Structure 1
Amino acid sequence: MSLRSRGSTESTDSVIRTDDSSLLRQQLVIKELENRFLRRQITTQQQEIEQLEARLKQYENPNTPPSKQGGAAKSPGRDDQDGDEDEESEEDDAGGDPDAASDSSPGRSEGHEGTTRPPPEPEETIRVDQGYCPDCEQILSNPENYVSQTVIDVPLPVPTTVVKYELGKHHCSCGNEVVAEHPDCPKKGRFGPNIMAQTALSRFHQRLPNRKQAELFDWELDHPVSHRTIYNLTKRVADRLRPAYNDIKEKIRESNVVYCDETGFPVDGEQHWAWTFVTDDEVLFWVDESRGSGVLEDVLGEEFAEDSTLSCDGWSAYSSYHTKLQRCWAHLSREAEYVAERYEEAERLSEELHALHDDLTTFVEGEPSASAREQKRAEASLHLEGLIREDYEVREVQQLIKKISNGLGHWLTFMTEPGVDSTNNRAERALREQVVLRKMFRTLRSAEGVQIHETITTMLATWKRRGLDPPEQLQSILGGRELR
């Protein structure tokens, strides 16, 4: 080969090597860009997964009421809390939204004969003789007969009475100055007991904000007032009811069984807790900035009777305060169902827990003897211990087992205490009204507002629990008469 030919070949090889090197560099750049894109995509997907897991944990867990499932907005007052691993969600304490739609259709069953309340006796009869024919436009008179229709209505504005009380002033021989009193004459302000009672009921039963109540005073009573006046009226009501509120607290302290629960309730935008304490005849609400056992000491006393039972969920404050507890089977059953729906490993566990609870509740309904109760409780305790000793691989199932294990000694109190329920439903039902009020009012504004709120809601709930008429009771005590 000539030198020219050899030089030409070497030049060609050099060009090829250069082209190959350039191509490799381009391919490396492309791969690097692809890697960066994939890394960004993985990061984005990981963030989406974390968001979905957080959403799943918040809205699709056994402690979430039906009204919150499906991605409903987070309720005010709800806050993630650090504490015992056996902690319960405060939202389920309220047992769900009482205003949520029911699964059953409203009204009577098909084919059920209806009833109509008979109208009251009329105070006045108005006879209308003239009629108008819309086709030929004639005015008709001298009817052949009459069609009766009884109408119930109220006049607007609502009639009010204005009474001036001349209260005698006396000077007692002991030196005291005494002013005569009348039950319908309030010691302060110009509104009587009926208006004060209706204002309190409108606020805490009908759930009307002060602004809307002020509008109703103008529209219905033809008596304009300010928002502050409405607030002052509810404060006067709460001041009159506070001694009765304290009496209820004392009665709860003396009870053999107290059903407890709590839910978030903001005060001036800061997280607080609305607690409820329920007995057979009383319902007490207590709003506090703490969710700890100190609240239980404030309400139930530092030395709550050792033989008394607290019914509660798994929140650690209860076990820190008292040793004799009844853990709520409704919470446990819901969580077992939730885990069993997702993991086959938990199906038998859920079935065993439900069957055990059904068997125990049927047993106690038969009013067995004390010795039979003790024997049945011992057998049930062995059953639970056998369930938690089995090996489970899924983390969620293991957490459920830990919940059962942490509650050993507290799941079966109702077996040997005839007056104790197996669930905490009494407290949860009582707490529902607080959840609805929180949704309506969003937050309480001050310590004074807290006292008004807890006092009036306590008395309304207690009167209803005792089978008494709240309006009648309010008018009675505000009029200075004896309160039952």
Structure 2
Amino acid sequence: MGRTILPQRDLALLAENAFLRQQNAAQTERIEELENRLKKYENAHTPSSKQGGAGQQPQNEESEQDEENNEAGGDSDAASDSSSGPGRNPGHEGTTRPPPDPDRTVRVGEAYCPECDRVLTDPDEYVSRVIVDIPLPIPTEVTKYELGKQECSCGNEVVAEHPDCPETGRFGPRLLAQTALFRYHGRLPHRKQAKLFDWQLDHPVSPGTIYNMTERVADRLRPAYEDVRASVRDSDVIYCDETGFPVDGDQHWVWTFVTDEDVFYTIDESRGSQVLEDVLGDELAEDATLSCDGWSAYPSYHGKLQRCWAHLLREAKYVAERHEEAKPVSEILHDLHEDLTAFDEEDPPASARERRRAQASLCLEELIRVDYEADEVTQLAEKIRNGLGSWLTFVTEPDVDSTNNRAERALREQVVMRKIFGGLRSETGVRIHETLSTMVATWERQGLDPPDQLTSMLGGERPKSRAETSTTENR
């Protein structure tokens, strides 16, 4: 016997009923929690000074400072709102960075009076202004290193080394670091960087030289790049996404893997689950969570997923604008996500999380139990059905976001560079791009300064791996 197509009104009532049951259960749990907390103040062993919560200020009661502001005509809500917006708050005195100490002083005694066309040469006083500027061309330092070369008693020929003298090329670590950052942080094409060398440094180079400089930097950073890959593999929550990135005119894909500490990029001609195996290993830890969109490669690789609610809500809103029967579906999905997000922010215990997930799952099931007339609405219901085991992972996993926004923000930078550069041309270019993009994004995510980190790694000893760093710190 076929399934019944319910009228629009019945569908809305079913969806609303499911959501209200879920909301009612949540409120019941909250009442029980508050009653249990109240028992601490209403029992035979509670002193009279503590009964009814005496001695504690209710959380919803205005503070004395708020009352004083209100009596004075102030608007505490407005003040609170203004503090989150751009610019200084009303009444707040602005501050200016103090000027640096001057390297030289220039005294100008002559002044011209435009009223009487006279030149005045005997000033009554001097007005000081401190001006910060840079000379052009920017001064460069050229150092000649004379490296001792000798033969060891074992017969091996040895050449002395200096940390600021690179093994290849004639450019030092600070200039190499600046060139790499102009490309992968400032998004400058090679030809524009070559122009800067000519204009600012008075040292003409070709775009090919700029490319070779970034290759040297990438070679130096490749061990650190592999350290980021290893760190991502060990993470409990990984946010993944991918987008097109042409290489030599052929379609490739740039993948990103984001954790609390790292941002990892890799470029591959495949968009399949094999890329996930190459980056994360043949098999991810069973309790690890992948946050992703609905692309089939992710469930093919790993079972524990968090499907992105941002994608679902956008699609539901789009379909609801085109079909009347999808409006209650969209409203219920938006209300459910808002309710679950607020619940998650309260940091409830694990048992409450399990109950709420089961209730929310029933709510989603109510939405897909009905046959819809429009194909787009049917496809939306099918999308909900396909992700039933993955939409609500964040409810029971406190460290998981309900959306995949972390990965999407990381990909946004790649999309901008793709539009500026137009793609890559070779496997060497791929290796340079993914290495430097990964390291710059990871340093920023960790709150480190990319110029300092890059200059240090290029000018000092071989970069230590995370394992070596951890071993040194534990000694």
Report the TM-score range of the alignment, normalised by the length of the smaller protein. Answer: 0.7 to 0.9
Match of 1:166 among 106, 124, 146: 146
What's the counterpart of residue 451 of structure 1?
A: 431
Aligned to 1:79: none
Query: Following the alignment from structure 2 to structure 1, what is the Cα–Cα distance between the partners of residues 134 and 165?
Result: 26
What is the TM-score normalised by the length of structure 2?
A: 0.77
Mapped to 1, the partners of 2:155 and 2:227 lie a distance apart of 33
Which of the numbers 173, 176, 191 marks the counterpart of 1:211?
Answer: 191
Deviation at 1:483, TM superposition (A): 4.8
In structure 2, what residue type is equivalent to 1:455? T
2:315 to 315, 335, 339: 335
Matched, 1:427 2:407: yes
- Return the alpha-carbon distance in structure 1 between the equivalents of residues 317 and 95 of structure 2: 42
Question: Which residue number corresponds to residue 214 of structure 2?
Answer: 234
Shift in alpha-carbon separation, 1:111–1:272, aligned structure 2, 3 A = farther
1:118 to 78, 98, 113: 98
Q: CA deviation at 1:366?
A: 1.4
Which AA in structure 1 matches 2:127? V
Q: What is residue 157 of structure 1 aligned with on the other side?
A: 137
Q: How far, CA to CA, are the matches of 2:302 and 2:226 in structure 1? A: 22
Is the aligned partner of 1:470 residue 2:475?
no
Which residue of 2 is the match for residue 178 of structure 1? Answer: 158
Q: Determine the structure 1 residue equivalent to 2:60.
A: none
Distance 2:399 2:152 in 1: 54
Query: 5+ residue gaps in structure 2?
Result: 1-83, 465-475
* Cα shift at 1:135: 3.0
105-114 or 262-271, which deviates more: 105-114
- State the AA in 2 paired with 1:262: E
CA contact (8 A) 1:473 1:483 kept: no
State the distance in 1 between where 2:294 and 2:88 align: 40
In 2: Cα distance, 1:384 partner to 1:120 partner:
62
Partner of 2:258: 278
After superposition, residues 31-180 of structure 1 pair within 5 angstroms as 114-180=94-160
2:23 corresponding residue in structure 1? none
Residue matched to 1:11: none
C-alpha deviation, 1:236, in angstroms = 0.0
Residues 326 and 414, structure 1, Cα contact 8 Å, conserved in 2: yes
Give, in angstroms, the shift of residue 111 of structure 1: 7.4
Asked if the contact 1:476–1:482 (Cα under 8 Å) also holds between the matched residues in 2, the reply is no
Aligned residues: 381
Provide the TM-score with structure 1 as the length reference. Answer: 0.76
Hey, what's the Cα distance between the residues in 1 that align with 2:297 and 2:90?
49
**RMSD of aligned C-alpha atoms?**
1.8
Q: Which of these two proteins has the greater Rg computed from alpha carbons?
A: 1
**Which of the numbers 322, 328, 332 marks the counterpart of 1:352?**
332
SS at match of 1:139: strand
Range 435-444 or range 174-183, more displaced = 174-183
Q: Percent identity?
A: 70
Select 1:440's aligned residue among 399, 402, 420: 420
Paired residue for 1:402? 382
Long gaps (5+) in structure 1: 1-103
- 1:294 corresponds to: 274
* Aligned-partner SS, 2:257: strand
Report Cα offsets for 1:198-226 as digits up to 9, x if no partner.
Answer: 00011111111111111111111111111
Q: Paired residue for 1:35?
A: none
- TM-superposed CA distance for 1:273, in Å, is 0.6
Q: Hey, what's the Cα distance between the residues in 2 that align with 1:420 and 1:198? A: 36
Q: CA 1:232–1:482 in 2, change beyond 3 Å: closer, same or farther? A: closer
| Aligned twin of 1:320 | 300
Matched, 1:259 2:278: no
- Structure 1 residues 159-203: Cα deviation after superposition (integer angstroms, max 9, x where no partner): 111111111123333332221111100011110000000000111
Query: Could you tell me which amino acid in structure 2 is paired with residue 330 of structure 1?
Result: A
- Measure, in 1, the Cα distance between the counterparts of 2:224 and 2:243: 24
1:426 Cα deviation from its structure 2 partner: 0.5
Provide, for residues 87-144 of structure 1, a one-character-per-residue CA deviation record: whole Å limited to 9, x for no partner: xxxxxxxxxxxxxxxxx99766787754322221222221211001223221012112
Asked if the contact 1:167–1:180 (Cα under 8 Å) also holds between the matched residues in 2, the reply is yes
